[in-house]
């Protein structure tokens, strides 16, 4: 899951321009074997239907199955830290 999670976060940060907290909070997916895809809660039903129409088998999994992450994002005027809700943690700075 780790490389797939990294890709998802990078896409959300740099393609969709989400802030670190929004990127971590977003629902995750994981490619399994063949056309099987695991999804955590939170996806739009349209996404589920589109995947099924394309031949994917959907497996619903608990959010704890998708890892955990924390981010520190360097900005021009400081840093932005984020910690996701799947694990215990918090973003703290001084």
* Residue 49's CATH number: 3.60.20.40
Is residue 47 a part of any domain in this protein?
yes
The pLDDT, as a whole number, for residue 66 is 84
Determine the pLDDT at residue 11.
96
State the pLDDT at residue 92. Answer: 80
User: Which pLDDT belongs to residue 54?
Assistant: 95
Domain that holds residue 26: 2-67
Could you tell me if residue 23 is inside a domain?
A: yes
Tens digit of pLDDT per residue, the chain (94 long)? Answer: 889 999 999 999 999 999 999 999 999 999 998 889 999 999 999 999 999 999 999 999 887 788 888 888 888 998 889 998 888 888 887 6
What's the pLDDT score for residue 19? 92
Q: Where are the alpha helices (DSSP H) in 1-94?
A: 2-10, 20-25, 45-53
Q: Is 77 inside a domain boundary? A: no
Integer Cα distance of 61 and 82 in angstroms: 24
Domain membership of residue 76 (yes or no) is: no
| Number of folded domains that form the chain | 1
């Amino acid at each position: 899951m780790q490389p797939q999670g990294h890709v998802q976060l990078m896409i959300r940060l740099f393609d969709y321009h989400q802030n670190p907290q929004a990127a971590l909070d977003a629902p995750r997916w994981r490619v399994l074997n063949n056309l099987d895809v695991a999804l955590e809660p939170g996806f739009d039903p349209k996404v589920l239907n589109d995947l099924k129409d394309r031949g994917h088998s959907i497996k619903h999994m608990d959010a704890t199955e998708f890892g955990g992450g924390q981010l520190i994002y360097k900005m021009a005027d400081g840093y932005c830290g984020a910690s996701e809700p799947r694990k215990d943690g918090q973003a703290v700075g001084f």
